[in-house]
Amino acid sequence: MNKNLPRREMLRWLTYAAASTLVACHFTDPTTSSGSVNWSAQDASKTPAPSPTPRLGSVSSATIKVPENFVFIKGGTFLMGSPTFEPWRGQDEILHLGTVSDFYMSKYEVTQEEYQEIMGYNPSTFSGKNLPVENVTWFDAITYCNARSKKEGLTPVYTINGQSVSWNRGANGYRLPTEAEWEYACRAGTTTPFNTQTSISAEEANYYGHYPYEIEENYFSQGNLATKPGQYRQTTVAVGSFAPNRWGLYGMHGNVSEWCWDYYGPYSTQAQNDPTGPTSGTLRVYRGGGWNDFAKHLRSAYRAAAPPTHSSYNLGFRLVLGTPTTFASVTETVNIANTGTGKGNILIAYFTWSGNTRSIAHRVQQITGADIFEIQLVNPYSTDYNTVLDQAQRDQNRQARPRLANRVEQMEQYDTILLGYPNWWASIPMPIASFLEGYKFTGKTIVPFCSHGGGRFGQSLTAIAKLAPDATLAKGLSVYYSGGPNLQNEILFWLRQNGILKP
């Protein structure tokens, strides 16, 4: 437990730990023969003791042939989401009881070698046969699941038919985990922010190690940090590079985020059995955080989301197989959201502090001739760098909505919004949140661009997608500070990629 917690927070934490102990009575640990978790409130802040790799074949393999690198996960009930006192929790992490059935999960994320073998190409930004495949869309992931199922003589799980995707839950092929399955497997019986403990180091996961958990409020005085800043590798690493969680799963935190089946939406406050998420939506969930994410975005409960057509250098996937006990003649059909293009009337809207984003915005305006709008505050942030760092993290932690001093007149006339901002603490500045909540973006296309100091987009694209779920989120442009000598060409490529300029 963090000894620096205020007394009130410590009492709340102990209450949560006690409640978690009660849940453990219903929770099944695949690493124990008794089916119960050897866990108590006193254990909650400790790294789980090493345990043997879960036994494969605990369920009859007559219906399913389990690959060597898959782990049997015994189903159970757990607390999904995060308690209100968990630092840097999101408002969409409502704590609730979830129950999942037995399933098998791959120890590792799908590698580039595995993807290349099945699909015949490798879309990854980084190159290496044992590196996780990345830069894949949600559609790419489910297509791979089906293709690998067919190759291995299994029944494909998914059917893609025009504008719909069906999941046949009675099929025995490969699939993506549900969001509940993913979190259940990631936690492996823990209730702390990470499956390691209350923090995670760069020696335990591949992430932006300069920014460990709770660095934001301790940036200038790091004595209270459970984990000190560490290495930032700026690339993916081979799967299995770090110790597994207690259930034998590697890389559930960091390296690449992992697509899940579910549409993104609010959790139900009621207990859920084998939840599969909302029946409709525009965004798909992905979990775990990647190599360029801050530790706060690696938390077991953190929920990222993006359009199913989105791909990124830090986004991959991991496979799941059902078990004979969970096969059922049930088919779920969900619709694919239509994707827009960057056409029609264009507005460049941006927020800037140092001037980097303003410089980029005006360069874009010179090329496109679009209208331009600077987002300004009633009470501007301090001009002092150290002060604004603290103001920015405080506003982000509180999910504040600073009051804006100006508005876009006749926003309805614009079809495409080129949205610019600095990457602050691995997300959007809160004035951008105020802007996005101030207008209706249904049917519009948002094309983001950001200036950054090394973290590229961080989780800013997820933040935008969540705030404007009915808009199309197009390909973004990340610029290191104010850009280098190739900035003009980078902007031209980005604008053409999004259909704003002709090829």
- 175 three-state secondary structure: strand
Alpha helices of 158-258 — where are they, by DSSP H? 179-187
Among 282, 312, 337, the domain boundary falls at 337
- DSSP characters over 143-171: HHHHHHHHHTTPPPSEEEETTEEEEETT-
What pLDDT is stored for residue 17 in this prediction? 52
Q: Which amino acid is at 209?
A: G
Q: How many other C-beta atoms lie within 10 A of the C-beta of residue 197?
A: 19
Average pLDDT over residues 165-189: 95
**Same domain assignment for residues 274 and 388:** no
Higher-pLDDT residue of 481 and 35 is 481
What pLDDT is stored for residue 272 in this prediction? 85
Distance CA 447, CA 414 (A): 13
Using alpha carbons, select from 200, 223, 196 the residue that is nearest to residue 213.
200
Residues in contact with 498: Cβ distance below 8 Å, sequence separation at least 6, in sequence order: 341, 342, 445, 447, 474, 475
At residue 171 the predicted structure's pLDDT band, cuts being 50, 70 and 90, is: very high
**Same domain assignment for residues 333 and 351:** no
**Same domain assignment for residues 301 and 414:** no
Is 71 a domain residue? yes
Is 125 a domain residue? yes
Task: Give the domain extent around 448.
Answer: 346-497
Average pLDDT over residues 427-437: 98
**Same domain assignment for residues 260 and 357:** no
Distance CA 304, CA 75 (A): 24
- State how many domains the chain has: 2
pLDDT in tens, 98-125: 999 999 999 999 999 999 999 999 999 9
At residue 503 the predicted structure's pLDDT band, cuts being 50, 70 and 90, is: confident
**Same domain assignment for residues 260 and 400:** no
Q: What's the Cα-to-Cα distance from 61 to each of 57, 146, 375, rounded to whole Å?
A: 6, 20, 59
**Same domain assignment for residues 281 and 356:** no
What pLDDT is stored for residue 373 in this prediction? 98
Distance CA 207, CA 231 (A): 8
Beta strand 164-168 with 70-73: parallel, antiparallel or unpaired? unpaired
What pLDDT is stored for residue 24 in this prediction? 46
Beta strand 477-480 with 346-350: parallel, antiparallel or unpaired? unpaired
Q: Which residue in the block uniquely carries the two structure tokens 């189903």?
A: 75
Examine the pLDDT at 34 and tell me if it is beyond 90: no
At residue 381 the predicted structure's pLDDT band, cuts being 50, 70 and 90, is: very high
Sign of torsion over alpha carbons 114, 122, 245, 102: negative
What pLDDT is stored for residue 268 in this prediction? 87
**Same domain assignment for residues 333 and 413:** no
What pLDDT is stored for residue 65 in this prediction? 80
**Same domain assignment for residues 274 and 365:** no
Residue 305: exposure state from Cβ atoms within 10 A (0-12, 13-18, ≥19): buried
Examine the pLDDT at 448 and tell me if it is beyond 60: yes
Is 397 a domain residue? yes
Examine the pLDDT at 29 and tell me if it is beyond 60: no
What pLDDT is stored for residue 331 in this prediction? 58
CATH number at residue 383: 3.40.50.360
Average pLDDT over residues 129-145: 97
DSSP state of 123: -
**Same domain assignment for residues 135 and 278:** yes
Using alpha carbons, select from 88, 91, 79 the residue that is nearest to residue 17.
79
Is 485 a domain residue? yes
Is 2 a domain residue? no
What pLDDT is stored for residue 271 in this prediction? 87
Average pLDDT over residues 126-145: 97
Among 281, 303, 337, the domain boundary falls at 337
Is 55 a domain residue? no
b/e map 79-113, b = 16+ CB within 10 Å? bbbbbebbbbbbebbbbebbbbbbbbbbbbbbbbe
Higher-pLDDT residue of 32 and 186 is 186
**Same domain assignment for residues 127 and 25:** yes
**Same domain assignment for residues 148 and 289:** yes
Token pair in block for residue 215: 């660095």
Sign of torsion over alpha carbons 183, 184, 186, 190: positive
Examine the pLDDT at 31 and tell me if it is beyond 60: no
Average pLDDT over residues 434-462: 97
**Same domain assignment for residues 277 and 383:** no
Distance CA 257, CA 311 (A): 11
Distance CA 363, CA 75 (A): 54
Q: Which residue in the block uniquely carries the two structure tokens 């660095």?
A: 215
Among 290, 306, 337, the domain boundary falls at 337
Residues in contact with 320: Cβ distance below 8 Å, sequence separation at least 6, in sequence order: 103, 104, 105, 106, 174, 175, 176, 177, 181
Distance CA 215, CA 200 (A): 12
Is 54 a domain residue? no
What pLDDT is stored for residue 344 in this prediction? 86
Token pair in block for residue 361: 């915005």
- DSSP characters over 55-93: PTTSS-TTS-PPPTTEEEE--EEEEES--TTSTT--TT-
Average pLDDT over residues 290-318: 97
Range among 44-53, 133-142, 274-283, 322-331 with highest mean pLDDT value: 133-142
- In sequence order, the β-bridge partners of residue 160 are 165
CATH number at residue 262: 3.90.1580.10
Give me the chain's average pLDDT, please: 87
What pLDDT is stored for residue 14 in this prediction? 46
Residues in contact with 314: Cβ distance below 8 Å, sequence separation at least 6, in sequence order: 134, 236, 256, 257, 290, 291, 292, 293
Is 53 a domain residue? no
Using alpha carbons only, what angle is made at residue 435 by residues 403 and 308, rounded to the nearest 5 degrees? 145
